[in-house]
Structure 1
């Protein structure tokens, strides 16, 4: 089964001395009362940002500014949020600050909906503390930055060390997928389980690309997107190699195919079978320690850190080293239509500095995108998150641009064909190329 195809510092303590600073970048600022709005659509984020807003308003008063923040709390799934915020962009009614997934930024920025942040960032001391790889990944094809990262982490393979140890299955880092598949077959034969879940199919939506397929692809081939031309290389050998892997896992009855065809595939897989020990390996991000399986997560696993460990993704081809996939998580953005960009940027700076950032990271189960948070509580008390922060430095990430949503749609459809038994890896790859070519259009496909 060989695969050769391939702001100023911490606001709660230092702002009184240093002060928040943001250049106007063209908007008035003014000395009168200003009301701005921020939109959050995930309950965890809603709760923590609501808690932090009074601190920002108080800080503004200390600086002689009268700024009131309205939190728009609208609990939505990713697709509902995307639809709603797109409608608001079109109508010119988007909130002044929007918390969204980083993967949405290329499309919205390309459409002209987001304000560039470069001038604000240049005048903000806090930008110096962002890790270089995140600063680089934030630059879009036009050379501008449209988002400020608020959470990050690493995607890898979480595994039930307690179950595998009990079964007598090797728990050392697998070096290749062939090696890992041998272990998964052993687990399947001993338990009758389908032992691994990778996001796949249409029901998982964008997660099939962002949390499953792209991390595997990025560890195999990092040239599938050309940032200079803004085009996708659909003939990249990595695409075919990853589709082959999905096909092998499904053909060996190692993937929970019926669960992945469920309307909410994460529910029976990550929230039921993995906590129950009936799925032993799951592709997951840093947030799993808190949001999914932590004491206050969706499905808590008692004694989590004693039962669950992580592997890096194994190499997919001969010579590929195991790797983690850098997750850019959530970002703050400002719509181009905002009349209070300066105040919006001040809020974003506050939320991504010192204790406010530390509290958000812990609430979200995320690693810090900055290098000056490791000693800030409550983040300093979270060893799994701190380790994820260290792992970020050696993790893989491939910045992409326009067309990410279309690629995600084509990948979801093609992996669905594997799940339903309508295609093997090669046939799924060919279907992906047809769909992606049509969805992207000629301007976004490499000739």
Structure 2
């Protein structure tokens, strides 16, 4: 995740319950939220609005919530270190918003409140969330998080560059469906990018994100590989698929020369502007949220985006193969030490209700987490959100495993080593396998 850049505070309060008057009990709740990107301040402002709504009913009981909410503005890795240390020192906030993959690590150590009983007592809300999202927040069949948002990963491309290559509108418009049918593969993407670069239509044909992230998992599935054994909760090293992934990135940099070998060092500022400013043809590690970032941060109009930028599923690496995508839900978790779990649960249900869910979707181009949100007329009339939502039938999640983050970082380092020329694809595979075995041990990882 990119370096994030501003903080946001909502009120201040004592860490203890205090009494504003003899009859009014003040309930302090602290929240720490990852982010925000400029488009995603609703991750915290929705909480603030939920407090205001909930307080109207709580005042009848002579109670009032006061929320102290803060955005953490560093990287995901910095945030992870921050909240793990806070939990270990028993200083963690009541509510945190984290990536779902960290639940296993925190729940296994008893840091998180089991939300299963609360959800069983609230079947209406439970059933309104898309069922697959509950799978992403489970550890040993118990639910430890409330989904706040989700998305799909995708390729972005410049339609006007394809037009300049001589493509007719019919071919450009059919491009996403050709990817979906398996007629266009990753290697076809490379050929198109090479042509655009050689003709001087773009600076580079292809870019990918410059930091570790879950996007790189979907290249494993593009080559018909797997990265987890869900039944036994094991990570999987699929050597055939991984070697194909490393060969693909080697091809991009060293054979076709369609991506710079210093891709990792370019940084997010270069990456974020590349599609909006027509510096590349393909962003191969995009996500649905990029749409609103291109508009709000990079100055594209909605009209320009719709006319000049296209998006599609992640193509298969094999002709006739299935395309893929991946979703990475961000989820609210509750500190097991909190004394206000019941009220916090009600607060989180309100902060993720359809009205707040759709507000976040429109502001950030994330997808709805609730069925009722996706059925709202305004949501269904949005062409980008409705098309991106259709991609969910191809999605998967990264494993909710204690070593997933290590797997993700080692995968990124292997790709970096191949791109820089330090290691061959085969050497990168051998090093990746050795590092994963060393970390997880034979009982925790399968080599396929």
Query: TM-score by structure 1 length?
Result: 0.83
**Structure 2 counterparts to residues 163-178 of structure 1, below 5 A:** 163-168=161-166, 171=172, 172=175, 173-174=178-179, 175-178=184-187
CA distance in 2, matches of 1:219, 1:289: 23
Show the counterpart of 1:17. Answer: none
Which of 25, 28, 32 is the aligned partner of 1:35? 28
1:247-274 deviations in Å (ceiling 9; x for gaps)? 1111211123224223xx22212x2322
Q: How far is 1:332 from its partner?
A: 0.6
1:182 counterpart = 2:191: yes
Q: How far is 1:339 from its partner?
A: 1.7
* Contact 1:160-1:281 at 8 Å conserved across structures: yes
CA distance in 2, matches of 1:82, 1:285: 21
Show the counterpart of 1:193. Answer: 203
1:340-378 deviations in Å (ceiling 9; x for gaps)? 111111111111112122112222220012110135487
Show the counterpart of 1:286. Answer: 288
Q: How far is 1:329 from its partner?
A: 2.7
Aligned-partner SS, 2:280: coil
Mean Cα deviation higher: 358-367 or 304-313: 358-367
Whose strand fraction is larger, Structure 1's or Structure 2's? 2
Q: How far is 1:319 from its partner?
A: 3.8
Call closer, same or farther: CA 1:41–1:232 in 2, change over 3 Å: closer
**Structure 2 counterparts to residues 237-276 of structure 1, below 5 A:** 237-251=240-254, 252-262=256-266, 265-269=267-271, 271-276=272-277
**Structure 2 counterparts to residues 42-441 of structure 1, below 5 A:** 42-43=35-36, 44=38, 45-46=40-41, 49-50=44-45, 52-63=47-58, 64-65=60-61, 66=63, 67-124=65-122, 125-140=124-139, 142-168=140-166, 171=172, 172=175, 173-174=178-179, 175-191=184-200, 193-199=203-209, 204=211, 206-207=212-213, 210-211=214-215, 213-221=216-224, 223-251=226-254, 252-262=256-266, 265-269=267-271, 271-282=272-283, 283-290=285-292, 292-294=293-295, 296=296, 298-302=297-301, 303-323=304-324, 325-376=325-376, 379=379, 382-397=382-397, 399-441=399-441
* Contact 1:227-1:401 at 8 Å conserved across structures: no
1:294-323 deviations in Å (ceiling 9; x for gaps)? 2x2x32323111111112111112441223
CA distance in 2, matches of 1:180, 1:54: 44
Query: TM-score by structure 2 length?
Result: 0.83
Provide the aligned length of Structure 1 versus Structure 2: 402
Aligned-partner SS, 2:199: helix
Q: How far is 1:399 from its partner?
A: 3.8
Q: How far is 1:390 from its partner?
A: 2.8
Note the residue ranges of structure 2 that are not aligned, 5 or more in a row: 1-23
CA distance in 2, matches of 1:94, 1:316: 43
Q: How far is 1:393 from its partner?
A: 3.1
CA distance in 1, matches of 2:68, 2:401: 31
Aligned-partner SS, 1:326: coil
CA distance in 2, matches of 1:278, 1:79: 29
1:60-84 deviations in Å (ceiling 9; x for gaps)? 3325352222212342222221121
Mean Cα deviation higher: 369-378 or 343-352: 369-378
Q: How far is 1:379 from its partner?
A: 4.7
* Contact 1:158-1:310 at 8 Å conserved across structures: yes
CA distance in 2, matches of 1:279, 1:93: 45
Aligned-partner SS, 1:73: strand
Q: How far is 1:159 from its partner?
A: 0.5
* Contact 1:359-1:379 at 8 Å conserved across structures: no
Cα root mean square deviation, aligned: 2.4
CA distance in 1, matches of 2:348, 2:105: 21
CA distance in 2, matches of 1:247, 1:33: 59
CA distance in 1, matches of 2:131, 2:333: 19
Call closer, same or farther: CA 1:335–1:378 in 2, change over 3 Å: farther
Call closer, same or farther: CA 1:222–1:369 in 2, change over 3 Å: farther
Q: How far is 1:37 from its partner?
A: 1.6
Aligned-partner SS, 2:198: helix
Q: How far is 1:391 from its partner?
A: 2.4
Bigger relative contact order (CA 8 A; separation at least 6): 1
1:77-108 deviations in Å (ceiling 9; x for gaps)? 22221121111111111111111122322322
Aligned-partner SS, 2:416: helix
Note the residue ranges of structure 1 that are not aligned, 5 or more in a row: 1-30
CA distance in 2, matches of 1:37, 1:318: 51
CA distance in 1, matches of 2:106, 2:53: 32
* Contact 1:197-1:281 at 8 Å conserved across structures: yes
Call closer, same or farther: CA 1:193–1:151 in 2, change over 3 Å: same
Mean Cα deviation higher: 312-321 or 390-399: 390-399
Mean Cα deviation higher: 231-240 or 155-164: 231-240
